[in-house]
Amino acid sequence: MRMTDRPTIGFEGDTPHLATRRRVLPCGLPVVVHRDPSSPQVCVSVWYRVGSSDERADRTGFAHLFEHLFKSSPERLGGHHYEVLRRAGASDANASTSVDRTAYHEVVPAHQLDLALWLESDRMGYFARDFDAARLVTQQSVVRAERRQRYEDVPYGPERFAVALALYPEGHPLRHLTIGRHDDIQAATVADVLTFYRTWYVPANATLVIAGDVPPDLDARVDRFFGRFPASRRPVRPVPPAVTRAAQAADRVVDPFAALGRIHRAWLGPVAFGDAEPELDLVTAAWTAVGTGAIWRRLVYDAPLAQRVSAWTTNGRLGGEVHVAVDLRSGVDPAAVRAILDEECQRGVDDRAIARAITRREAGAIWGLTGLARRAGLIQRSMLYRDEPDGLAIELARYRRVTPERVRGAIATWLAPERQVEVETVAAARARPAAAPSATVPASAPSAP
């Protein structure tokens, strides 16, 4: 099957669709191609359906550790993975781990497509051949240093752990952050790594997306690098009991790195592509839009009680979260901020604010199409959660169906006061003696979740 000359982005009415072609190799690997001859580059993206939600309870942080390990030997490549790509003229290359997937991508000049395919097929099929204890020890040290630098020894680091502990019960895989616990990272063995690789990194558990100026013989090139892998099956992912109520109501942490206090509220939310996902995303965008958002305006401009407000949602296969964080001005009484947050959560969002948020989301989606990696990411996310490549059209259609009534229903269902957790961060220099019990999360506790 050869590539056709159909448009890169087609329209059905006013709904854009990313033109894609999909096939599945005999080894079980799905391959999705998005052709764009206007670009002299090509993006090769591989997502594996494994993240921190798939880890053993005593091996937290393992998926992220594996991301660091999952590279071919520099001796065989002729240098470090990213060094090889830089020499080839790559404009972008990265890897990341979330609760649901581990992702790798590189954007290279179109004539370097074979290099990108070789790099991804080499680690998919031959990682175990060169892996040894020395590499494990090195990356354990790197990942633990990353935890200290990005999660512990930074402002509001303790808060991130405290929010997860408040939302999820003991034993739930989302109770710990993707970075994992120090003790679990250090306890990983070579046997653990190879078992994880052979379980989760089989071709059937991955998706290969190729976007850009692909050649007419693309299928033959993909077959050359991936076609000889043995047949595989997608492993069954663990699914814990659904969490319907947060584990606890409130907490208080003293942060030695924070200069300002913070009120952070969170609620459990819907799964990815679930009902109310776009509605809650629009609520958080409307609440905190600079200049027009109701919470932003009342706390930053009118009062003013806050230095900054932010709100966001996350959604995955096991559930989602809704967050609102308010950085307090010095000397502000947190009770005054809580009162305004309570009022706005009960008031909801006015219709014009929702309309503006929909427009911004749609504009952002269209703007994101300028990058090949962004397009590949849209396709990958849709494949991950829906097994359907046209994520752009799906996302836009869901946002266009949002109505004020649906927004009010989502707020009533998901953001009820009894579902809320709150973590107050107190700057260590301004910590007040607390009559009520308080929790202090040490910034560098080696066994912190």
Number of neighbours of residue 286 by Cβ within 10 angstroms: 26
- 306, 327 Cβ separation under 8 angstroms: yes
pLDDT score of 444? 36
pLDDT score of 77? 79
pLDDT score of 446? 35
Dist. CA 209–CA 385, nearest whole Å: 15
**pTM for the complete prediction?**
0.91
Write down the domain spans for the chain.
9-226, 250-430
pLDDT score of 45? 98
Copy the structure tokens of residue 181: 């616990």
Number of neighbours of residue 130 by Cβ within 10 angstroms: 16
pLDDT at residue 3 tops 50? no
DSSP 37: T
DSSP 242: P
- Name the residue with tokens 């007040």: 432
DSSP 369: G
- 324, 284 Cβ separation under 8 angstroms: yes
Fold of 9-226: Cytochrome Bc1 Complex; Chain A, domain 1 (3.30.830)
Copy the structure tokens of residue 280: 């809650």
Q: Which stretches of 221-349 are assigned E, i.e. beta strand?
A: 250-255, 262-269, 306-316, 319-328
What value does the mean pLDDT take over residues 348-368? 92
- 9-226 and 250-430 have identical folds: yes
pLDDT score of 23? 97
What value does the mean pLDDT take over residues 425-431? 80
Computed over every residue of the chain, the mean pLDDT equals 91
Q: Check residues 437 and 300 and name the one with the higher pLDDT.
A: 300
pLDDT score of 2? 38
What value does the mean pLDDT take over residues 76-103? 93
pLDDT score of 442? 38
Confidence of residue 7 (pLDDT cuts 50, 70, 90): low
Indicate the SS3 state at residue 71: coil
What value does the mean pLDDT take over residues 180-200? 96
Partnered with residue 420 across adjacent β-strands are 267
Confidence of residue 433 (pLDDT cuts 50, 70, 90): low
Dist. CA 237–CA 316, nearest whole Å: 13
Radius of gyration of the chain (CA): 23
Of the candidates 403, 384, 424, the one whose C-alpha atom is nearest the C-alpha of residue 209 is 384
Question: For the segment 207-265, what is each residue's pLDDT rounded down to a tens digit?
Answer: 999 999 999 999 999 999 999 999 999 999 999 988 887 767 778 999 999 999 999 99
Q: Show the DSSP H helices in 131-228 as ranges.
A: 133-147, 157-167, 182-187, 190-200, 218-226
Of the candidates 421, 53, 63, the one whose C-alpha atom is nearest the C-alpha of residue 247 is 421
Q: Check residues 13 and 417 and name the one with the higher pLDDT.
A: 417
CATH numeric code, 250-430: 3.30.830.10
DSSP 175: G
Partnered with residue 320 across adjacent β-strands are 269, 315
pLDDT score of 435? 44
Confidence of residue 339 (pLDDT cuts 50, 70, 90): very high
Question: For the segment 55-74, what is each residue's pLDDT rounded down to a tens digit?
Answer: 999 999 999 999 999 987 77
